Amino acid sequence: MLKKIFEKFSTEKVDFKIFDYDLTIKKTKKKKTISIIVRNGRVIVSCPIWTVESKIKKILLSKEKWIKKNINIYTQREDIINDNKRNGIYLFKGEKVKLKYENFLIESVNYKDNYILIRTSNFSNTNVDKLLSEWLRLQATRYIRKRLKFYSDLMHIKFSNLLIKSYRSRWGSCDTKGKITINWRLIMAPPSILDYVIIHELSHIPHPNHSKTFWMHIKKYKPYYQRDANWLKENGFLLNSQFV
């Protein structure tokens, strides 16, 4: 009986062209519920294989305000990223900087008076991005080590090791052995943001959770940590937009 009912309603065809955005519907046997995400300006619906199209349409209509809000956020962020690229703007420790070039056989990168000086004989975009990202990683390594030691001493918390990596969806982590990993891209954020992430990860050593005690521990050393957390939520996309 259930199979017959499903076969009857599964033949219903709904015109999804009424939605003025890029829509992808993924039906799978593994999925038990319907979920909607907005990724890169596209709407993706994941649902059980038996889900009828009329139900998907109904849910999309009920979430229309939320969907359009998130698409608009993506569009606005893309505009900012493209504007920065057109104007050659990069971020270093929260400051907007531009690049200057000098034709030089020995390649080097230096920060001077609100601009980054790149010396090279190969001015291709690929080579410039390579030189700049390598320089930023080096600055991040030096700066993060210094700030981590400072807060480790201040908070009287020992860590076992430090790794500096490139993440696309996280800023740091701390495992059960006290090994801390920090995203090098944070060197592009204001120093206060990097300090917050370091304090956050160090606090996970005595408090391996996100309990109230954990957040109170962070607040002890970063009273306005929520401001930094909000900055990452609203502006973190800028740190991921310029380098692979």
Question: Tens digits of per-residue pLDDT, 116-169?
Answer: 999 999 988 889 889 999 999 999 999 999 999 999 999 999 999 999 998 877
Can you give the residue ranges of every domain in the chain?
2-84, 88-239
Nearest to 60 by CA among 23, 31, 30, 13: 23
DSSP alpha helix (H) spans, the chain: 2-10, 53-62, 64-86, 125-155, 191-203, 212-221, 225-239
Give the tens place of pLDDT for each residue, 191-228: 999 999 999 999 999 999 999 999 999 999 999 999 99
Query: For 8-12, 72-76, 150-154, 219-223, which range has the lowest pLDDT when averaged over its residues?
Result: 8-12
User: Is it true that domain 88-239 has CATH number 3.30.2010.10?
Assistant: yes
